[in-house]
Structure 1
Amino acid sequence: MMIHKVLVLRKHFYDEDGNYQLLKPKTSSSVRDIHLDLETFSVLKDLIRQNKKLRLISGEKVKHKFIFIKESSFEPFRNSYVNEVLNKLCKRFELPRITVHGLRHSCASLLFAAGADIKVVQKLLGHAHIETTLNIYTHVTTEEIEKTTDLLINYLNELTKKSYGSHTGVTELKNQKNHPN
């Protein structure tokens, strides 16, 4: 098993009008642990060190020590800032436009495709209700439909072998119906 470091999400910092203030999350399920790989955790630690150096150089007392800050004020970036940066990067590298929420959706979809348990994904996303996770973040791909169909056919073939003691399975029976001798 890989070694993980944990980032604890306990607060958010913009109200509905876009004003900066430290607030409790919307729901208790929004308070959660995010497990990070060592490389990502190391990048965040380096950023924290850089922020600390900036605060020491400026001599300014900072009330809250956020990781992603404006160098001039030590306040967190406004919510739309990351989407603006993503939009510029997508244009620059001629990629389809994606938002932070789109990245979140992609992450959830990839977790499901990798076989992650729905309750684990719910917890990672901070959803209070499982229906939110199911309705918004899951969609069925053609590949998943084909895999599920194969599972059913293989299961039925095994039942047929057991019942009739032969190797004629559902697939063969179907083919015989479609192409009679």
Structure 2
Amino acid sequence: MLNDINQSSLFCDYYKQWVEVYKKGAIRDATMSKYLMTHKWVERLAPQLRVSELTRTAYQQLLNDYASEHERQTTLDFHHQLKGAILDAVDEGYIERDPTRKAIIKGKTPRAKKIKYLNQFELHTLIADLDLGEEANWDWFILLVAKTGMRFSEALAITPADFNFARQTLSISKTWDYKGDGGFLPTKNSSSVRKIQIDWQIVVKFAELIKGLPENEPIFVSGSKIYNSTVNSVLTRHCKACGISEISIHGLRHTHASLLLFAGVSIASVARRLGHASMTTTQKTYLHIIQELENKDVDLVMRTLSGL
């Protein structure tokens, strides 16, 4: 039971203690920061709301106030983060009935989001401009992300032991805590633990690069703190030098997926390679590309039928 909490307690205080008791140490730091941000919004939107006053109407008003400044998906996340705490309050007898039942999720219309990625020619130009010396550097890192589609934290955590050159595979089973104090962390989700095929160029180049390196230590982590912005700056310099579209490291992941989709690789295979929890994620992220491919399919269908 939470300390010093009763029906007359402020809901924001109850939620703060609930997060401390049930979430601290049980979830990733990045997820924990979202719960803490939710607490700040509760403090801001309903500072005087007491646990006993949390009716369906009061809860819906809280959601509505939040939704007035956020998109629907963000409001849905806010709702889910509050719901666990509220259901526990119901179980403890602080609240008589579940106020989250039949909650209506609203939100601002999402802004059109066009992901940035390179086309095949631009990617080829970028790779040709990389300085791939005898020692691991951020140019090697850029090459690996472009060829594998890994997330930034996944690529940072790659060690020599993760490569199986005989089978041409790379095992992705961990991430690097670049936002915190460093060290290995679990992957984003269970689907992110995967083995992906790597091409012969990566096999030849990395087999030589990692010779003599410690088997279980990250290839690209030297000891000092790593910032996403540092690697993005290196990538931006190359893009400017090549006269191609400027993208981020995450944009290389999008580039990888986009090229595979345009090449005719199935959505299911792309989803597995990227470590998405489901094909739905892949479909939502690359909807515009899938629609473009569907338009090509229609043309192909019509040409095929007209030739019968």
TM range (shorter): 0.5 to 0.7
User: Aligned-residue CA RMSD in angstroms?
Assistant: 2.7
Matched, 1:46 2:180: no
1:14-72 Cα deviation digits (max 9, x unpaired): 16x443121011101111112111221222222212645xxxxxxxxx9x5112233xx
Report how far residue 146 of structure 1 moved: 4.3
Report how far residue 156 of structure 1 moved: 5.6
Q: In 2, are the aligned partners of 1:4 and 1:38 still within 8 Å (CA)? A: no
* 1:64-143 alignment runs, 5 A limit: 64-70=216-222, 73=223, 77-138=226-287, 139=289, 140-141=291-292
Code of the residue aligned with 1:12 in structure 2: it is: T
Aligned to 2:168: 5
TM-score (norm 1): 0.66
Which of 175, 183, 188 is the aligned partner of 1:26? 188
Distance 1:129 1:89 in 2: 33
Distance 1:18 1:78 in 2: 10
Distance 2:286 2:266 in 1: 13
Aligned to 2:301: 151
What SS class does the counterpart of residue 49 from structure 1 fall into?
Answer: coil
Identity of aligned residues (%): 33
Aligned to 1:171: none
Code of the residue aligned with 1:7 in structure 2: it is: L
1:109-132 Cα deviation digits (max 9, x unpaired): 111111111111110000002111
Q: Greater strand percent: which structure?
A: 1
What SS class does the counterpart of residue 198 from structure 2 fall into?
Answer: strand
Distance 1:131 1:146 in 2: 21
Flag the 1:153–1:93 CA change in 2: closer, same or farther, 3 A: closer
TM-score (norm 2): 0.41
Code of the residue aligned with 1:48 in structure 2: it is: I
Q: Which runs of 5+ in 1 are unaligned?
A: 53-61, 159-181
Distance 2:180 2:244 in 1: 29
Q: In 2, are the aligned partners of 1:66 and 1:76 still within 8 Å (CA)? A: no
Flag the 1:42–1:5 CA change in 2: closer, same or farther, 3 A: same
Q: Which structure: larger Rg?
A: 1
Distance 1:152 1:93 in 2: 40
Distance 2:180 2:240 in 1: 26
